[in-house]
Structure 1
């Protein structure tokens, strides 16, 4: 599996990890990945487009503060996007990045009056946690599993062809 991860991860490019664009809704959230019943865990900030492709990104973080979130938004979300988040303070002042920032207070409702929600990213977290077994949620391997998820989503209509294309990119030394 290590070789498979290395192979497919090498085929991802910056465009695969940059999501959104003019009028595209991008949901952002953070989630904790733990090994078993362990209270310690790894925090991941992620985003997913509300499009047919459901392009996504995931970043393992040490801190979930506003500075970290702003850095992630500038690196992974295209200008012109409509970004939906919950009301957590780390998501303040995202409008500085030429995006529209819509918020949902999940303690009141899961969808607000104008249709803002973060249900797509919440479902994505659930799918990731089903796919990534607890024993693989350590700092040494989780990033590869997150990138594999992005690769699988990119090639979900034809995983076999995606793998063949990845094999064509191998360069022998």
Structure 2
């Protein structure tokens, strides 16, 4: 039985079984010590909390209690634990989430609450990508693979060329993408840059691409010295053809990926500010680098990242 199926079954059970399952997955703490006497606290039923249970110590004149969510990602949240688990399941099922559908499922009562829950989970994914980069460097390229590089403009989308111009139209910046293609695997590196000059793009390529890797690009002048920098470089001039007739080089892998990436950014309304755009780009990287290769899928990777960031 998959992790998603187990979670669906648990959501039908009582509050106590949901808490025990979350303790087993290390999303909630299994033990708590009293801050006064240092002894183990007991999990007791409580009618003054939505969770139905609290950690209690009765060895003092003053009643000592703690929430079952103490030091977890769910602390300081008024949403039920079952609602949080449902949202995590929907969050992990894909990059697309319709808030109106989640409201109809009684996950939350307002879009503001859903936005805050989504931002909290995205921050977990962002921290996971940063840990991966510190640990491995997130280098791409090497044998049996090639890298497609390109830059794209992320700005406000007008329908049928009508409507107001958004703030992103005046934004001076590009998204520089490096896409590793190895068999059926795709691993992107997405960086927001204010200029697409050689001095700005070359350090990013040298930082993330292994030496002697094969790179495919268009004929943008900033890429002309890639061969002198130690890379195997193939170019295609899009003014003449999309696929080079002699080498077969093309950038369609990344051109197709831009459509998916932009669709995700527009769906999350992450193109309002540069900060939100960068967060969404990192979240897309998390999906391709970590979530897709986890044995339990995106949900398993999300729970693992929560355990790493919130040690209960």
Counterpart-to-counterpart distance in 2, 1:23 and 1:40:
41
Instruction: Describe the shift of the 1:79–1:161 C-alpha distance in structure 2 as closer, same or farther (beyond 3 A).
Output: same
Counterpart-to-counterpart distance in 2, 1:16 and 1:74:
12
Contact 1:84–1:103 (8 Å) recurs in 2: yes
**Structure 2: gaps of 5 or more residues:** 1-117, 159-164
Contact 1:23–1:82 (8 Å) recurs in 2: no
Contact 2:187–2:285 (8 Å) recurs in 1: yes
Instruction: Describe the shift of the 1:168–1:97 C-alpha distance in structure 2 as closer, same or farther (beyond 3 A).
Output: farther
Residue in 1 aligned with 2:157? 36
**Alignment match of 1:49 (pick from 155, 175, 180):** 180
Residue in 1 aligned with 2:300? 161
TM-score after normalising by structure 1: 0.91
**Alignment match of 2:200 (pick from 50, 68, 82):** 68
Contact 1:17–1:56 (8 Å) recurs in 2: no
How far does residue 172 in structure 1 lie from its aligned partner after superposition? 4.9
Contact 1:18–1:57 (8 Å) recurs in 2: no
Residue in 2 aligned with 1:102? 234
- SS of the residue 1:64 aligns to: coil
**Alignment match of 1:149 (pick from 284, 294, 299):** 284
How many pairs align? 173
**Alignment match of 1:140 (pick from 275, 286, 300):** 275
Counterpart-to-counterpart distance in 1, 2:137 and 2:241:
32
RMSD: 1.9
How far does residue 114 in structure 1 lie from its aligned partner after superposition? 1.6
2:128 is equivalent to residue 18 of structure 1: no
**Structure 1: gaps of 5 or more residues:** none
Residue in 1 aligned with 2:124? 7
Structure number with higher strand proportion: 1
Q: Runs in 1 of length 4+ with deviation above 4 angstroms?
A: none
- Structure 1 stretch displaced more, 112-121 or 90-99: 90-99
- Structure with bigger gyration radius: 2
How far does residue 26 in structure 1 lie from its aligned partner after superposition? 0.1
Contact 2:137–2:208 (8 Å) recurs in 1: no
